[in-house]
Structure 1
Amino acid sequence: MSFSLESFQLGDIITGKIIKLEPTGVLVDFYTDQLAYVPLLELSLNEIQTPEEAVQLNEIREFLVVGNYDGEHDIYFSNCSPETLKDSDRLYETVLYLASEKCGHPISREDLIVHTKIRDVHGNGVSATIQWFLCSQEHPPTVSFSIRKLEMRKAWERVRQLQAEDVTVYGKILKKTSRGALLKIEGLYSSIRTYVDKQREELVVGKELPLNIIKVREEDNFLVLLHHSVSVRLKQLQVGQVVSGIIRGIKNYGVFVDIGDLYALLPTSKMFHPSVDHPNQLFKINDHLKAKIIKIDPENGQVVLESCGS
């Protein structure tokens, strides 16, 4: 059961009363002339089997107003200035152009329903998503209601705050992957990356790790996490510093060196002998190595080295 787009604003938070529990969802009274059905999937950010795991009969809950669209009409602006945001005509011009391209024929302003959603605020302006719909569609967009998406929105707000405050969070390893491990932070799926087999072997399903959130990109459903010890170690390093470590991994493009709580990369091009076909002609696993730091990338937890004296 859904409602017309004109009845509610996408992205609004509204309250409703749970008046009936069913095996696959609930009926909610939003104080309109009809009841809304909210399926089981939309009742919680966690995986649940029954409505009773998330809500109670006669409970008043908040819901996010969401659309039945699949995002194909979303336009993402990564850096929208306050002036552009205030001048809605400038945004409409862009939306009209892109909508006309999408539909294959000119679209007028009167043909569109447009909603603007602020995603993030930063120094130069904001990130925003513009959602557009055609008024003349045979089956105009409708809205539905979700606790899960509201909890997800709040979870993204929490992780942004945790990142800003550099708070150590704890995530349990759910699954090992070919590149690292899958975890959940504040109800959001995320991952940590490994570079050598030894790192991956040290990951244990069910083990809880102390982590720092380095990058948050809600629009891509993407979190960059670093083990807390790696984050601490990065802050101790400086470009130009000479470090010692043990080689733990050898690839055709370079070697990974354990310099204490993190693995730094010495690229083949930064070795004394760049003409070698493969670094394994120069190094073996567990060799000791001294090298100089030439780059530190704290957002990705990466350190790049070059051979001393090169």
Structure 2
Amino acid sequence: MKLLKTIRLSKENTLGFVLLGMFLLMALFVPNFLSAGNIKNMMFQLPEFGILSLAMMVVIITSGIDLSLTYRAALSGVIIAMALSAGAAIPVAIMFGLLAAVLCGLLNGFFIAIVGVSPILITLGSMILFESISLGLTKGNSVSGFPPEYRVIGNGAVGAVPISLLIFLLVAVITAMLLNRTKWGRGVYMAGSNPVATLFSGINTKRVLLLVYLYGALLTCVAAVIMTSRYNSARVDLGSSYLLQSVAAAVLGGTNIQGGYGKVIGTVYAVGIFQLISSGLNLLGTPRTFVSVLMGVILILVLMMNYYYDKLADKKETAGAAA
């Protein structure tokens, strides 16, 4: 009975049932939802969004936020694209993109972890910086002309499963293992819950935070590779629509916006829910602007629900301590 109660009250398991129920509703009431073309499109669209959402989730667990996330991915993608169009080998081009992403992550991590600047302030500034660098490199144009082998990453499949989806699943497993089975992962949760207590417990909080932003940079580079490969081009606004959606997916997935809690499986379920909503509404002919509005409404509702849930939990804890 205790196990059943735990399963019933779990945020992540609840989201899993919501995802399943939403899939069934879409299958029953949305024309062509189960068509091979639509299923294929969802499988190819989900990985890039999912990887960026996982990167955002790790940052939010530390009570931070990364507003430069998608702009760093765009800069990384632009550098990869320019290297490829200049004739560089695929591994070399990806290494250039990874180096750019890591340097961007180091910039954010240094000012947040070492200097102590607020994450929202420094990432707002670096967002503008990364966008300006991308704009200067591309002159506002898209960069294209990739070898066919590179396009396989974002458009190829192993059987019926896209390669990009396999990459996303691998990234999700690695992220879950790092957060749940390493000393660094425990430090990430502790830093989000109580940074002062974490410091006095002997954990190097600065190192933990620096690695958080470096890991986020690594994931944005992976997403950039998938996006540039799938679209066969790179531009300044590459993946920009995923910025607030990644925050919404992380929060909907159960990650506490104030830090200290978050699970990979919850974020994966939330990404699936957003993908179903987007695909279903597109099939119904809903304007894209309405889909964006709906995403914003969902984010606000989830934040409000989490706020009142936390207040109720605090009241229960206070009442229990008084008793």
Q: TM-score, normalised by structure 1?
A: 0.20
The answer to which structure, 1 or 2, has the higher relative contact order (CA under 8 A, 6+ apart) is: 2
**Higher relative helix content:** 2
Greater Rg over alpha carbons, structure? 1
**The structure with more strand, counted as a fraction of residues:** 1
The alignment's TM-score, normalised by the length of structure 2, stands at 0.20
